[in-house]
Amino acid sequence: MNYDEFKNHVEENIKGFLDESYENASVQINTVIKNNGRELDALQIRKEGETITPSIYLNDIFKNYEQNGDLDKVMQQIADTRVAADRTQLPISIDDITNFDSIKGKIDCRLLNMEKNEEYLKDRPFTQVEDLAVVYSIDLGGNETDGKMSTVITDNLMGQWGISTEELHSVAMENLENSDSKFMSMRDTIVALMFPDMDPSDPQIDMMLPPMDPDKAMYVLTSDDKMYGAKLLLNTEKMDDIAEKLGGDFIVLPSSVHESIILPNAEGISREELEGIVQSVNSTVLEPQDFLSDNVYCYDAQAHELLRADHYEEKAAEKVQMAAVGEKESAYGAKEAFEAKEPGAEKKDAHRERKSVKAQIAEKKDIISKTAAEKANPLKNHQVEK
């Protein structure tokens, strides 16, 4: 059975796996554009009188069918997913969704690649941050067992609210400040993945993974549920806390739309080499829908601003030029502001630091590979439509 035959079979037979309350439900499969231009086929089983119904994406479900070959089992899983959505008590109604004051506490945001989402952004409000786009959604609740539900805010819905994109962005940023996050060292992240049942302070772990020098450590920043955690790069309060912990400006590697890797700005490695590492991970490990950017970013702690690394270098060069006008002492150039600042040992230190960063990125590749299946679970985290 090919994919088109599979879709037709689901559309024609899915109600046979549901109870009698779905007897008069309508069944439709619509093609929708998702993150990074990915086209997905969304199954919607809408009961009579329903204004909100979940979208169950069939593309990855078909891959599961190809692997196990049990069509009835897959059909039952789809039906169970739809029933689970009925069990989930949404904290809001359709009337709430159309009332901005009722819904604004549940407005969330996501950080996406702007160039790859040109079509996706056509009917959605967004705010540009460098070469990235902030889009907005409504958290409709749910849980880890049955999945979480959300709906992306469209221009039409924002028009019903009678607000501007600037107002929407302001509300989303305010809510983001109150969201939970995880900021862990790369070592602790690896320990949590490889030894989930062990106490992180267990001496045996130190034998397998020696403690890291804090000045050379890499960190992972993500949301508490590890979904669209790159949005935390927009949380100025959180970013300022990290800057204080790391001693000032820091480097951001866009690991995926779900998380970011943070490096102290003392690393002896060039922007070009970091970009090469990021692009390698993106092209060899990351799922296409999880891609965020091939660029590297820096956080300017003084300006409280996230900048693309090349723009950060330009800004640093401007500061050097301004300082040179009033001072005779030498100043480091833009790249020296980004790289190590010990002239006498620059080449030696750069070589040592490059090896450290590459080794940690390699470990991160393994983490991404091991967690990709969990993030891509086709039966969880559904989109809902009005």
Average pLDDT of the chain to the nearest whole number? 81
Q: Determine what percent of the chain is predicted with pLDDT higher than 70.
A: 72
272: burial class by Cβ within 10 Å (0-12, 13-18, 19+)? exposed
The whole-number pLDDT of residue 13 equals 95
> pLDDT band at residue 376, thresholds of 50, 70 and 90?
very low
Torsion angle, alpha carbons of 26, 27, 28, 32, to 10: 110
> Which residue's entry shows tokens 């949301």?
223
**Looking at residue 212, what DSSP letter applies?**
P
pLDDT at 69 over 70: yes
Instruction: State the pTM of this model.
Output: 0.76
* pLDDT confidence bin for 322, thresholds 50/70/90: confident
Residue 45, pLDDT above cutoff 50:
yes
Task: Calculate mean pLDDT across residues 95-106.
Answer: 87
Listed in sequence order, the residues at least 6 apart from 322 whose beta carbon sits closer than 8 Å to its beta carbon are: none
Is-contact 93 49, C-beta < 8 A? Answer: no
**Whether the predicted pLDDT of 372 surpasses 60:** no
Closest listed residue to residue 182, CA positions, set 126, 220, 155: 220
Distance CA 198, CA 366 (A): 20
